[in-house]
Amino acid sequence: MRGTSVLSEFNDHPRLKVRFGTGWDTCNYHCEYCVTDQPLGETSGATGSLPILTRIGQGITSPSKIAGKLSSIGKRLASAQAPPEVAEWSEEKYLRVIDRFAELPFRMDVRIGVGGETFINKTVVEGARRLSNHDNTFAVNLISNLSFSFAQYQKIFQGFDLSRVALVCSFHPTEIKDVDKWIETAVQINQIVDLAIVLVAWPPLMAELRANKARMEAVGLEVFVQAFHGWHDQEKYPEAYSDDDRALLRDVFYSQHDFDHMVDLKQPGKCYAGVDYVYVDINGNVSRCGTYKTPIGNVFKQLNLLQRPAACPGTECWCDTENLNTVEFRENYQLVGLNQHKYVRRQPSPATID
């Protein structure tokens, strides 16, 4: 575990928030709405990484699911809002970047970004374990679909410094066989790491959104809702949310800020991306953020951080943690701990993130 003396040694270093785009994109779930277009099939045991079209035939369970998935993929490929390209996964490169983070003169707050499931890849887990033990690590932010048992997570977390780990668990009711058990596991995990649950506002799940959120909050879980970005029934979301949908989302969203950016696609304005937040790819290349990849160096060579917030080069910021870098966010909200998804409204005077 980290000692107080080590902590104080790094307290003087500036904090650097990082989204590390690992390129790991394989999942053991196959949600129809997945932004990384996971292959269709059974919800267990997938550890390979093959292109979707070659895997579609391996585990077909529902014709409507296949049609929905293919339609979603086709629409997304034709859309100007296709997810930004992510450099390809490599075990060796991944661990090299993780080890390099230990040498950077910052208090590192790293979100290990995956397009699949974190905990089905032993190397991804090993990197997270190493990162949690670096002297200069402030936080390791991870994501999981919570498809393992609590006992399995306990085993996976052996050797981690859990006092530095924050976890977001995404709730995917179309894939979960036993929802009661899933919530029970979340409650147990919440005892050992800083946990937040995310619910996706995919149109077919809207009817249960409020009840699912209330049910989880009733057992002490912190829950946030994420807007669906993509195509459903020939319509593009979030633009296609109805007025009733928007009223519901406004009610269940974590904050007005989240709603503005994720549902209303508010223009981002000036942003701290590149100042004390960066996106790092698996080759060590550093960009202001992962949405509009303005290059600002490489972790193995030079890091050319910006001196002050600058205008967003794009028109929308809807990555669920990157939109927290806007000047507007910092003026009105404050992160409160390890978890990049937990924040509170500032009262009453603005200040900057430490």
Binding site for ligand SF4 (CB under 6 A): 27, 29-31, 34, 36, 38, 116-117, 145, 170, 172, 268, 271, 273, 288-289, 291-292, 312, 314, 317, 322-323, 325-326
Based on CB atoms, which residue is closest to ligand SF4, 86 or 289? 289
Q: Is 230 helix (H, G, I), strand (E, B) or coil?
A: strand
Kindly state the DSSP code that residue 325 receives in the 8-state scheme. Answer: G
| Contacts for 85 with CB less than 8 Å, ≥ 6 apart | none
- Give the phi and the psi of residue 46 in degrees, each rounded to 5: -75, 115
Based on CB atoms, which residue is closest to ligand SF4, 138 or 202? 202
Based on CB atoms, which residue is closest to ligand SF4, 108 or 319? 319
Distance CA 44, CA 156 (A): 17
Based on CB atoms, which residue is closest to ligand SF4, 238 or 268? 268
User: Least CB distance from residue 66 to ligand SF4, whole Å?
Assistant: 14
User: Least CB distance from residue 99 to ligand SF4, whole Å?
Assistant: 26
Residue 96, judged by CB atoms within 10 A of its CB (0-12, 13-18, 19+), counts as middle
Based on CB atoms, which residue is closest to ligand SF4, 212 or 323? 323
User: Least CB distance from residue 238 to ligand SF4, whole Å?
Assistant: 16
Based on CB atoms, which residue is closest to ligand SF4, 10 or 20? 20
Distance CA 176, CA 13 (A): 42
Q: Is 61 helix (H, G, I), strand (E, B) or coil?
A: coil
User: Least CB distance from residue 185 to ligand SF4, whole Å?
Assistant: 15
Distance CA 272, CA 291 (A): 14
User: Least CB distance from residue 258 to ligand SF4, whole Å?
Assistant: 13
User: Least CB distance from residue 162 to ligand SF4, whole Å?
Assistant: 23
Distance CA 344, CA 352 (A): 13
Tokens of 220: 């002490």
